């Protein structure tokens, strides 16, 4: 293990701030940052040698990779945590605007949907990861939900039930099974996992998440959060008979009173299925 990777691992081990999930995410992200810095030419770094030039380089790398504003902000927050532990808070600017990172786009101006191309999916060698990706597509699941998914528990006949421990914010929810594709994916996931989750018995969640990220990247399957956008937009079309504004459909200002009521009802349903339960959040998926 490289020195920086080891020292950041030890830093996380001796500084257990936050929940277990927060700690696991921080540890995983810091290992990625260490690897990225090595690839950028900063070899032989120590954890205490973090400088502004390293932060600038890593942020530029993430911007060039097309990572979302939210993802870059989250990683900057973890870099600030790292810097603070060595009394070097000044090396990471407190204002994200310093790095040319603006606010999250709250209302989608265009579709951010991504699609699961079979040719790329076939490059995934781990059957559990492949199944997680298919579940993301079929039910609009978050990545964590699709990895922790226990098919035998989730299958309730006409809907799936997600445990609170799988979901963001600990909010359990149900999602209807409406298509033959959803039923087929669910049946195949049950055949694969039996009574277990889609995490192989010999791996932890974090280990499987890291395997997921590596295999997806190698297969060219990037920004898989876009599968949730695709799910939301497909559901909107089903529920209203119209494309969402993000997909070129009518804006809210162009809707008749009846269409506005239909639009609101659809957004409330979609928000609940995505695990948000706030109508306003649908603007980032569907536009306004």
Mean per-residue pLDDT, 23-41: 92
Q: Is 234 left (phi over 0), alpha (psi -120 to 50) or beta?
A: alpha
Which position has the higher pLDDT, 147 or 102?
Answer: 147
- What is the reported pLDDT for 68? 75
pLDDT-based confidence at 61, cuts 50/70/90? Answer: confident
Tell me the average pLDDT across 61-74.
Answer: 81
| Banded model confidence at residue 129, pLDDT cuts 50, 70, 90 | very high
The confidence score (pLDDT) of residue 168 equals 81
On whether the CB atoms of residues 229 and 114 are closer than 8 A, the answer is yes
Beta-carbon contacts of 167 under 8 Å, excluding residues fewer than 6 positions away, are 142, 144, 145, 173, 275
| Rounded Cα gap, residues 179 and 40, in angstroms | 46
| Alpha-carbon span 192 to 152, nearest angstrom | 10
> By three-state DSSP, how is residue 286 classified?
helix
Distance CA 262, CA 100 (A): 39
What are the residue ranges spanned by the domains of the chain? 3-99, 124-218, 229-286
pLDDT of residue 228: 94
pLDDT at 40 over 70: yes
What pLDDT shows up at residue 106? 66
Task: For domain 124-218, give the CATH superfamily.
Answer: Intergrase catalytic core (1.10.443.10)
Please tell me the predicted confidence (pLDDT) of residue 74: 92
25/276 Cα distance (integer angstroms) = 21
How does the average pLDDT of the chain come out, rounded? 92
Question: pLDDT of 227-275, one tens digit each?
Answer: 999 999 999 999 999 999 999 999 999 999 999 999 999 999 999 999 9
**Residue 138 above 80 pLDDT?**
yes
pLDDT at 104: 64
Closest Cα partner for 112 from 228, 277, 282? Answer: 228
Maximum C-alpha span of the chain: 64
| CA dist., res. 18 & res. 227, Å (int) | 29
Q: Comparing 158 with 69, which gets the higher pLDDT?
A: 158
Segment 120-137 mean pLDDT: 97
- CA-based torsion, 36, 39, 41, 43: positive or negative: positive
pLDDT > 70 fraction of the chain, expressed in percent and rounded:
98
Question: Looking at per-residue confidence, does 195 or 66 come out higher?
Answer: 195
**Residue written as tokens 């870059």?**
72
Question: What mean pLDDT is predicted for residues 40-44?
Answer: 89
Identify the pLDDT of residue 19.
Answer: 87
Q: What is the pLDDT of residues 164-196, one digit of tens each?
A: 999 987 889 999 999 999 999 999 999 999 999
- Mean pLDDT, rounded, for 60-76: 83
Angle 87-92-93 from CA coordinates, rounded to 5°: 125
Output 18 or 141, whichever has higher pLDDT.
Answer: 141
Question: 252 with 266: CB under 8 angstroms?
Answer: no
Whether pLDDT at 39 is above 90: no
Name 138's Cβ contacts closer than 8 Å, sequence gap at least 6: 179, 181, 182, 185, 186
CA distances to 12, 31, 200 from 203, rounded to whole Å, are: 20, 18, 6
Q: Stretch 215-220: mean pLDDT, rounded? A: 92
């Amino acid at each position: 293990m490289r020195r920086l990777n080891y020292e950041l691992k030890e830093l996380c081990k001796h500084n257990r701030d936050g929940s277990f999930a927060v700690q696991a995410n921080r540890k995983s992200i810091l290992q990625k940052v260490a690897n990225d810095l090595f690839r950028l030419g900063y070899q032989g770094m120590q954890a205490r040698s973090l400088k502004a030039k390293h932060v600038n380089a890593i942020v530029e790398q993430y911007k060039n990779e097309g990572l979302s504003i939210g993802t870059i902000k989250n990683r900057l927050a973890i870099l600030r945590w790292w810097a603070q532990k060595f009394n070097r808070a000044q090396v990471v600017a407190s204002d994200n605007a310093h790095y040319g990172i603006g606010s999250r786009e709250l209302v989608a101006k265009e579709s951010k949907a991504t699609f699961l191309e079979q040719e790329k999916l076939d490059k995934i060698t781990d059957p559990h990861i492949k199944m997680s990706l298919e579940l993301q597509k079929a039910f609009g699941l978050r990545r964590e939900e699709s990895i922790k998914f226990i098919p035998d528990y989730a299958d309730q006949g006409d809907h799936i039930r997600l445990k609170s421990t799988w979901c963001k914010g600990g909010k359990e929810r149900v999602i209807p099974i409406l298509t033959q594709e959803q039923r087929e994916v669910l049946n195949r996931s049950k055949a694969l996992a039996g009574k277990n989750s889609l995490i192989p018995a010999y791996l932890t969640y974090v280990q499987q998440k890291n395997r997921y990220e590596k295999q997806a990247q190698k297969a060219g399957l990037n920004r898989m959060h876009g599968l949730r956008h695709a799910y939301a937009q497909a559901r909107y079309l089903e529920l209203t008979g119209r494309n969402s504004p993000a997909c070129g459909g009518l804006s809210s200002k162009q809707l008749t009173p009846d269409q506005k009521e239909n639009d609101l009802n659809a957004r409330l349903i979609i928000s609940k299925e995505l695990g948000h339960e706030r109508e306003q959040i649908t603007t980032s998926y569907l536009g306004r």
